């Protein structure tokens, strides 16, 4: 007896989008299944263009894309089944977080009372309920990312499309958001999440699509991709308020292969970034070091693409 056929969450056929002479996505054909799928690629690879095509924000130059079996372009009905967290900020800065999410929920057709209930529930889900009455202009970068996640889930969509949702978050915020995304998937939502940082995708899912120059250059299990870069050290820069204290603690870490200290922070080299990022939040909390930014250059990821293309 055969099982139930898998329904593709997203399917693309010959999908292309260009802007004048610039190619955003070039002849992409694929099928994305249930669960969490990571869209991985360096900045400018075409990830955001692909997500805008999936959410019906732009029209394909050629080819087609469907979500849950329905065409996306010029199909308002499918929009209620999707939630989108954009990479760029686009706020009314003088609005409170609650008013902003509530206003967007009404666009999905809910009345005032239901919109308020859903907005409050979504803000609580992203741990922002205590700042709901503060203006968005006073939010940190990490809080702005969380309020965008709140508006994406407030109308209970079946599919979540998240464009660089962890950008600008501190280590604790990243860990909390990764846990939320995994919980949403466990509850039955289908999630497509993009990043230009391998360890972020790896911490959420083993299913990835590698994008470069507007094309899908590889797809499959992240652990197979990991094997390609085990010999390449990863550079991670940690901007913080006390670089010397942080460096003193990192010196003894087995996963830290090299280190450079300056006035703004510490740059380390590691061959096990997944382990490093898992353990970093506990160290930061224990030493009360204030981490303001994490940067992971694209060099190692680009090396994978160069290898695959060759």
The CATH T-level fold of domain 229-309 is: Alpha-Beta Plaits (3.30.70)
List, in sequence order, every residue forming a beta bridge with 191; answer none if it has no partner: 36, 160
70 Cβ contact list (under 8 Å, min separation 6): 77, 78
Would the pLDDT of 183 be above 80? Answer: yes
The sheet that has 70-71: what strands, in order across it?
22-32, 10-19, 62-67, 70-71
Would the pLDDT of 170 be above 60? Answer: yes
Q: Over range 62-68, report the average pLDDT.
A: 96
- Strand 258-261 versus strand 234-240 pairing type: unpaired
What are the angstrom distances between the C-alpha of 56 and each of 37, 49, 83, 161, 266?
19, 11, 12, 12, 42
User: What is the pLDDT, as a whole number, of residue 1?
Assistant: 41
Token pair belonging to 61: 């130059």
CB-based contact 266:260 (threshold 8 Å): yes
Distance in angstroms (rounded) separating the CA atoms of residues 55 and 52: 5
Output 146 or 253, whichever has higher pLDDT.
146
Output 102 or 221, whichever has higher pLDDT.
102
Question: What are 232-245's pLDDT values in tens digits?
Answer: 667 889 998 889 98
CB-based contact 154:82 (threshold 8 Å): no
CATH architecture of 10-227: 3-Layer(aba) Sandwich (3.40)
229-309 matches 10-227 in CATH topology: no
Q: Over range 205-231, report the average pLDDT.
A: 78
What global pTM score does this model have?
A: 0.76
Domain boundaries, the chain: 10-227, 229-309
The CA angle 209-75-113, to the nearest 5 degrees, is 100
CB-based contact 28:15 (threshold 8 Å): yes
């Amino acid at each position: 007896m055969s099982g139930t056929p898998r329904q593709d969450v997203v399917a693309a056929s010959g999908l292309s989008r260009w802007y004048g002479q610039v190619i955003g996505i070039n002849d992409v054909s694929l099928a994305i299944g249930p669960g969490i799928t990571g869209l991985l690629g360096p900045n400018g690879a075409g990830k955001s263009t692909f997500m805008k095509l999936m959410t019906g924000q732009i029209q394909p130059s050629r080819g087609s894309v469907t979500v849950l079996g329905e065409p996306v372009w010029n199909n308002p009905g499918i929009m209620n089944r999707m939630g989108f967290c954009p990479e760029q900020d686009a706020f009314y800065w003088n609005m409170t977080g609650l008013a902003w999410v509530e206003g967007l929920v009404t666009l999905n057709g809910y009345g005032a009372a239901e919109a308020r209930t859903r907005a409050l529930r979504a803000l609580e889900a992203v741990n922002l309920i205590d700042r709901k009455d503060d203006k968005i202009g006073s939010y940190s970068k990490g809080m702005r990312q969380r309020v965008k996640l709140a508006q994406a889930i407030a109308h209970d969509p079946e599919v979540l499309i998240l464009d660089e949702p962890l950008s600008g978050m501190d280590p604790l915020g990243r860990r909390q958001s990764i846990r939320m995304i995994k919980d949403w998937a466990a509850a039955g939502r289908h999630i497509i999440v993009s990043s230009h940082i391998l360890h972020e995708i790896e911490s959420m899912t083993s299913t990835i699509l590698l994008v470069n120059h507007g094309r899908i250059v590889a797809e499959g299990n992240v652990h197979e991709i990991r094997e390609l870069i085990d010999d390449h050290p990863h550079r991670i820069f940690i901007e913080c308020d006390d670089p010397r204290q942080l460096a003193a603690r990192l010196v003894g870490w087995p996963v830290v292969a090299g280190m450079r200290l300056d006035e703004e922070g510490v740059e380390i080299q590691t061959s096990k970034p997944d382990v490093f990022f898992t353990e970093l939040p506990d160290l930061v909390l224990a030493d009360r070091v204030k981490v303001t930014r994490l940067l992971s250059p694209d060099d190692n990821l680009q090396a994978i693409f160069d290898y695959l293309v060759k």
